[in-house]
Amino acid sequence: MKKYASYLSVVLSLLFFLVVSASSAQAASLKFDQTTVNVNAGESFDIGVVVDAGSDSITSIDAYVLYDSDVLEAGTVSEGTYFPTVLNDINSQRVYVAGLVDDPATSKTGSGTVGTISFTALKAGTVTLSYSCDESTENSQVIKNDINATNVITCSSNGTAAVTVGGSAILPTSTPSAVPDELPQTGILDNIIKVALPGILLVLVGGALKFLLRF
């Protein structure tokens, strides 16, 4: 009886250890480096695609970023620092970003930015950036470093980003210079009067003296 009790104790201990280990394991996921973005129509902004490998070592990721092309226009994708090789493809419905190791014998752990997407706001509105993560053909995934290339992504742990686009960007306007009601006086007329007046007086006085001397 004691022998069976000992076996049961060992089995229960192993089960407890497995449950604790499973609960403490961190899920792999995809996130953005910002959760909220506020811009005006006509302005551009950048947002990073971030992978969190959780408790696993990974060799590659596929990220399908969904956006509203009526409000945002996807421009370019620049490489991040997490993976040595980054690929991308952009269309009017989604931005595809892939990252992978160059050497199959290597792997990556932890978290980091795979790539940065540049968007331009087209008009006012609210958009939620998210990752396509379901059983469809374009499924975001995080590939574990194992012989089966297991997809270890947990879709429910993926992040989103709320983008709010305000009205048109306010451009600086120049203020025209005020036009005076009257043209400024140059002072030329005043100077002419000052110079000519003594001469005019002398001519008048001389003429008067000549007239008096006749008598």
**Per-domain residue ranges for the chain?**
29-168
Residues 145 and 156: their CA atoms lie apart, in Å, by 22
Between strands 111-121 and 161-168, the pairing is unpaired
Inter-residue contact 90 to 139 (CB < 8 Å): no
Give yes or no for residue 30 having a pLDDT over 80: yes
Between strands 58-66 and 141-144, the pairing is antiparallel
Categorize the per-residue pLDDT at 18 as very low, low, confident or very high, splitting at 50, 70 and 90.
very low
pLDDT at 157: 96
Condensed to tens digits (0 to 9), the pLDDT of residues 149-177 reads: 999 999 999 999 999 999 875 555 555 55
Give yes or no for residue 11 having a pLDDT over 50: no
Secondary structure (3-state) at 107: coil
Rg (CA), the chain: 41
Categorize the per-residue pLDDT at 26 as very low, low, confident or very high, splitting at 50, 70 and 90.
confident
Backbone φ and ψ of 207, nearest 5°: -65, -40
Q: Which of 13, 17, 49, 45 lies closest to 31 in space, CA to CA?
A: 49
pLDDT at 167: 86
Categorize the per-residue pLDDT at 73 as very low, low, confident or very high, splitting at 50, 70 and 90.
very high
Q: Is 60 exposed, middle or buried (0-12, 13-18, 19+ CB in 10 A)?
A: buried
Give yes or no for residue 101 having a pLDDT over 50: yes
Residues 170 and 148: their CA atoms lie apart, in Å, by 54
Categorize the per-residue pLDDT at 83 as very low, low, confident or very high, splitting at 50, 70 and 90.
very high
Average pLDDT, integer, range 39-66: 98
Give yes or no for residue 10 having a pLDDT over 50: no
Average pLDDT, integer, range 3-26: 46
2 conformational bin, left if phi > 0, alpha if psi -120 to 50, beta if neither? alpha
Residues 130 and 94: their CA atoms lie apart, in Å, by 10
Average pLDDT, integer, range 119-145: 91
User: Can you give the pTM of this predicted structure?
Assistant: 0.68
29-168: CATH topology: Immunoglobulin-like (2.60.40)
Give yes or no for residue 193 having a pLDDT over 70: no
